[in-house]
Amino acid sequence: MPTPKEIENFILAHIPTDVIYENCGANDVMGREVWEVWTKENGRRMSTRFVEVEDDKPKKLFHVFEKLVERLNARYAAEARDLKRMQVMADIANKRLAVVALTASAAGGFVVSLFAFLFLATQGGDAFWPSIIMLASTLVSSGTALMGSFRLVSAKQLSGLDIAKAGSSGASSI
């Protein structure tokens, strides 16, 4: 790590008209050591200078913060794109896992209920009607888990005849 005097000398070597006002020290900016130094341009106007350090030596001087940001963005843009791509892939994997878990739990509940229904139906006696109700409620809950909502279906829709549609298309209905 360079000394504050080395950083100040580096700035004065590049901009001899600057007067060092205050050396704010080193900061870690995206894994890079960057020094911030306040100067007075020509001894009058306050300015901030940024010095990037590499291998314990001052490497590059930035007159304004925007130039430092441009350099860091250019250097780390590919890594940022890769990170974004990895986040999207992780989101897709999480959604896929959620769908598989939901489908597996609904299918597992249905299979267990089906076996329970068969057991109760074969026992005869008073267990038959409760098993029918249990199977119907399992079908409804599994369907709701898989389809997202419970929808009643009319007999007309099941038979394939939708009278409202046939009447609106101009075809005559018998």
| Those residues with Cβ within 8 angstroms of residue 21's Cβ, 6 or more apart along the chain or in another chain | 38, 39, 40, 46
Top pLDDT among 73 and 123 is at: 73
Top pLDDT among 125 and 50 is at: 50
pLDDT tens track for 4-51: 899 889 988 998 888 888 888 888 887 788 999 999 888 788 988 999
Query: Does pTM surpass 0.85?
Result: no
pLDDT given at position 86? 92
What average pLDDT score do residues 55-66 get?
87
Top pLDDT among 167 and 27 is at: 27
CB 38 within 8 A of CB 47: yes
Q: Does 77 score more than 50 pLDDT?
A: yes
> Which strand (E) or helix (H) includes residue 13?
helix 4-14
Q: Strand, coil or helix: what is 63?
A: coil
Residue 150 corresponds to which tokens in the numbers above? 């419970």
Q: Does 167 score more than 60 pLDDT?
A: no
Q: Rounded to whole angstroms, how far apart are CA atoms 3 and 42?
A: 24
Q: Does 168 score more than 50 pLDDT?
A: no
Report residue 174's pLDDT band, with 50, 70 and 90 as the boundaries: very low
Q: Does 157 score more than 70 pLDDT?
A: no
Q: Strand, coil or helix: what is 165?
A: helix
DSSP letter at 151 equals -
DSSP letter at 169 equals T
> Which strand (E) or helix (H) includes residue 69?
helix 65-123
For residue 168, which amino acid is it?
S
